[in-house]
Chains A and B, each alone.
Chain A
């Protein structure tokens, strides 16, 4: 799949933002006043920025409201509804914390739950796509959830929690990659099943339908070299989880350490998400001789 910057930013930023909101909602850290303003501001800001980035991906952002209507069946719609609900439900808690130094735990807890489900819904947008076998797997939501929660915990200054979550994230990523590598074969789609000609012999694309470009090729047929992918996996794993964990483990907690850990984590997650898209092979590639 094409690693669109808008989608990479969307999933990473909003994931981290909602992750932070989870912790703030749960009251793991209950700041008030300016601190609350900054922290809630960060949570709302990241979640919002992510959603805005996502809107860049839309052909008709002016119709975005329509995306709230199909929550019964569509994970994208659910994600939109949940994100809005999270931000709304969390608002009294946030306002209470900032302006009245009075956190409202009911809203906080409910908001936290919604934030968690929002991240899950984001991941389900991808999981539900059966045509991308790498995504269509139980190992995808843990990566999204742990990434958001780990980043959020670090942002919330919860070093120990962040440390453990980073380690869990590392495992989730590795599992996701390892499982993912076999998913396409597991799905059983081949040039033979795609054309129904498999019983006759080895099927190979002779000529694509058009020598010109098309949307499908640009959007869904993206090839990354094996070597390249391997390097990026190391970067994602190292910067996104291992390095932050080490920083949090080895150095006394302070703003600098947390900031460094966060920067590494975000950077690593951008790499992870880039790979998440770039490595994901869509079965439509079979019609274009890709794979």
Chain B
């Protein structure tokens, strides 16, 4: 036969440029294939530590993001009313002059009247530095509405969290439990990890009300009722304790389980017994005496306490055992509440115990601990766990995350082979983090970094009278440990002038008028609301976006950003780097193509603005700009001597972590594929918080200035200090109305309490939980402008369980109305049986406002989609005490997205457009092309 002979070896591209993906916070390495100067194809970089060649749908679709018709073209000045979307394009000169004219006088008079908040910013160490130089206390990024519960609970408990701070030991784990994750930041690594587990046939248990995605491949699915993970986890703890399946040696060596806790009523109750040097003490079993925790050659006791001067001091572990052995946590007593049969809880506990203690693994790798004791092996308990927003985005999230870490610690699986491992620069205990700062003065920089980890009420950012110092009320009694700030409260507080009024709201890459705000419709009103004299309540809004998002329409001045393929970026160790558990790593982005329009990289614009405002660190002595652009800053800025944004190729090019600025640094990164990696020595790979070799290595790399070994906090003295204050001790006292809540929730040991919404909602009226999940092929609101991705997820059906389907007589093609105490939305329904029976859900952030994102006004994103955000208020419904309580975690202020309760009704026949249907915004960009069929020109 005579068959055609296609060209089997076509030329793939002229050149490959290696940079870093930006379609999500995972930050994979990409090979950008160039043809004729155009981007032709994007694939994963095989050498990259994060993704090792693989790439997700968003990453591969980056080319369409770059070619998006929604891209802004030039700076914009508002000409119509706010929210209308009517703008005129202006020059950068004019834009920067306007910004300087607004901000200059503000800095001289009242720098706190600038609120600068930066969304899912990948340059936080830079924007924070800028805000500090400006002198406003009001800066933070998105963590408060995202996952601060996870981050803070992890740091306070063990000096690192899941999230981006650590990862399961994918190569060795034999049992993996995944709680409340649909996609996560570590998007590709989790998929790669699951793939590795599947290859070995290791068991995966998914705890999630919804069985899709990762939970679909889980061998066992626990369709838990939302908000009850804490109870489920404590029940597992109960079972393990009851059977003695805990790693006592680990608890004694690496945790504060043996610390003696004062049991006497009074200002010392619940605090550690300390020696004259302030060192916490333990009971030495050999002598029965209380000695400093790190005294040599002792056998710390976990069972018995000491009595000194008539005061009993019991070890932390005794408190712990007493609490969780209580029948309250027995599987039979939590099963109904959690929606998980008791037998299943028992089976999972038994499986955890079996794998942890019967399938123990050992590595023949000697190591030395910080006490100087040599160990000839590394012993691992191959049970790993991971959790994300399903656990953290609840008002009991902080304590639930703590409970989960306690479970991991009890079986000795943190930082041991087969368990959970930190990624450098973690571990880092709260003590090694800064405290938050808010001291501002006209014309002066702030007194220190904005965010940090308070160790007691003394570190709160409050005025004498208890009023919050920050516009978002972070680090106030309402959210004492709000380590990431509370971006979701900024607009409503600024609108209310509570705690004070601001002048300029400066936002960067956060779609606050849409999917990242609770109570979206009302937020749009707040942004456009005027005072008696007709001026806007929030006087000025500056916004930087790269695309025509909903938020753009609400800005007075828009600073258009480049795309990720057109600018320099650094993914820095000072921020959230791309490290892996076995290596230190950071990376860059660099302009692989030049912008084809009048847009500028936001970071360079910020430096320009800083120089015009003469901010310290941004101008030379003669007043001229210190940095020509962001690339210059990345190369030459030093945070501490020898430590800068990038850790690799410092000094003469050999410097790792420390070293003088190297003018060739960026070139070296490009040469190296856009990243730098430095492997942790073998003997330092595990037990990092206590491993002398790791500690020394971390100091050498500039992660710490001196070794920082520490013990895990099963008992959190910090939390206890806030409780003591609430009990009336100490000179910083919370307002009366918060006392009871602080006492209840800031327990030094993990607890579970029903989410505030659950506790206050009449289950007969709002019987259902409503959740969102992130689609793997979309990133928040940006996916919809992508011609490829929007075909995959172009609308948001509401998935309801078979029971609800039957109860309401739904049929294919029907629509439903969901009502919360706060609002109402209408959506098409779809049946899903693999779903917790009292839960409904839809995709997150697919819904769009008409007119935004260069989409047709009749796009399904606008007509067949809605946001659950319309149903969620930033405050809880009134309960008659005259107060509006925040819909957040009481400890960290994390937005409680997933506490939502709703009722469902069948929508009247004939429904064809979703509710609410906001009127269209004018589009600041031209109409999108009709059809696309692209090939780069060779």
List A residues at the B interface (Cβ < 8 Å): 206-207, 209-212
Contacts and interface: CB of A to CB of B under 8 A. Distances in A.
A211 B794 contact: yes
A211 B793 CA distance: 6
Contacts of A211: 791-795, 860
Contacts of B830: 206-207
Interface in B788-811: 790-795
A210 B860 CA distance: 13
Contact of A209 (B212, B792, B794, B795): B792
Nearest to A209: B792
A210 B791 contact: yes
Contacts of A206: 212, 830, 832
Nearest to A211: B794
Contacts of B832: 206
Given A210-B791, A210-B792, 16 more contacts: A206-B212, A206-B830, A206-B832, A207-B830, A209-B792, A210-B794, A211-B791, A211-B792, A211-B793, A211-B794, A211-B795, A211-B860, A212-B790, A212-B791, A212-B792, A212-B794
A209 B790 CA distance: 12
A265 B790 CA distance: 47
A212 B792 CA distance: 7
Contacts of A209: 792
A206 B801 CA distance: 12
Nearest to B812: A289
Contacts of B792: 209-212
A172 B832 CA distance: 44
A212 B856 CA distance: 14
A101 B13 CA distance: 70
B790 to A, nearest CB: 7
18 contacts: A206-B212, A206-B830, A206-B832, A207-B830, A209-B792, A210-B791, A210-B792, A210-B794, A211-B791, A211-B792, A211-B793, A211-B794, A211-B795, A211-B860, A212-B790, A212-B791, A212-B792, A212-B794
Contacts of A207: 830
Contacts, number: 18
Contacts of B793: 211
Nearest to B792: A210
Interface of B: 212, 790-795, 830, 832, 860
A209 B788 CA distance: 12
A199 B792 CA distance: 29
Nearest to A210: B791
B247 to A, nearest CB: 38
Contacts of B790: 212
Nearest to B864: A211
B813 to A, nearest CB: 12
A214 to B, nearest CB: 8
Nearest to B860: A211
Contacts of B795: 211
A246 B385 CA distance: 79
Contacts of A212: 790-792, 794
B821 to A, nearest CB: 30
Nearest to B865: A211
A64 B792 CA distance: 35
B57 to A, nearest CB: 12
B852 to A, nearest CB: 19
Nearest to B790: A212
Which of B790, B792, B795, B832 has the most chain A CB atoms closer than 10 A to its own CB?
B792
B527 to A, nearest CB: 30
Nearest to A205: B830
Nearest to B791: A212
Which of A206, A207, A210, A211 has the most chain B CB atoms closer than 10 A to its own CB?
A211
Which of B790, B791, B795 has the most chain A CB atoms closer than 10 A to its own CB?
B791
A51 B212 CA distance: 50
Contacts of B791: 210-212
Contacts of A210: 791-792, 794
A207 B834 CA distance: 13
B293 to A, nearest CB: 54
B64 to A, nearest CB: 14
B117 to A, nearest CB: 33
B688 to A, nearest CB: 41
Nearest to A289: B812
A47 to B, nearest CB: 33
A207 B841 CA distance: 14
B840 to A, nearest CB: 15
B284 to A, nearest CB: 59
A206 to B, nearest CB: 6
Nearest to A212: B791
A206 B212 CA distance: 10
A179 B797 CA distance: 38
B870 to A, nearest CB: 21
A128 to B, nearest CB: 21
Q: Which 6 A-B residue pairs are closest in the complex by CB-CB distance? A: A212-B791, A211-B794, A210-B791, A211-B795, A210-B792, A212-B794
A211 B775 CA distance: 13
A113 B830 CA distance: 55
A207 B793 CA distance: 10
A207 B773 CA distance: 14
A210 to B, nearest CB: 5
Nearest to A206: B832
A201 B351 CA distance: 27
A197 to B, nearest CB: 12
A209 B792 CA distance: 7
A210 B788 CA distance: 10
Nearest to B861: A211
A182 B793 CA distance: 36
A212 B861 CA distance: 11
A204 B793 CA distance: 19
Nearest to B846: A211
A234 to B, nearest CB: 27
A209 B775 CA distance: 13
Nearest to A202: B833
A211 B791 CA distance: 6
A16 B212 CA distance: 54
Nearest to A214: B791
Contacts of B860: 211
A92 B828 CA distance: 64
Nearest to A207: B830
A207 B830 CA distance: 9
A212 B860 CA distance: 9
B1 to A, nearest CB: 11
A209 B795 CA distance: 13
Nearest to B796: A211
B842 to A, nearest CB: 12
B525 to A, nearest CB: 31
A209 B794 CA distance: 11
A131 B791 CA distance: 26
A206 B832 CA distance: 7
B262 to A, nearest CB: 56
Contacts of B794: 210-212
A210 B790 CA distance: 9
A210 B793 CA distance: 6
A211 B797 CA distance: 10
Nearest to B833: A204
Nearest to B211: A206
A207 B794 CA distance: 12
B329 to A, nearest CB: 34
A103 B792 CA distance: 63
A14 to B, nearest CB: 31
A136 B212 CA distance: 38
A237 to B, nearest CB: 31
B517 to A, nearest CB: 25
A212 B793 CA distance: 8
B410 to A, nearest CB: 36
A166 B761 CA distance: 72
A202 to B, nearest CB: 9
A265 B682 CA distance: 86
A135 B790 CA distance: 36
Contacts of B212: 206
B747 to A, nearest CB: 41
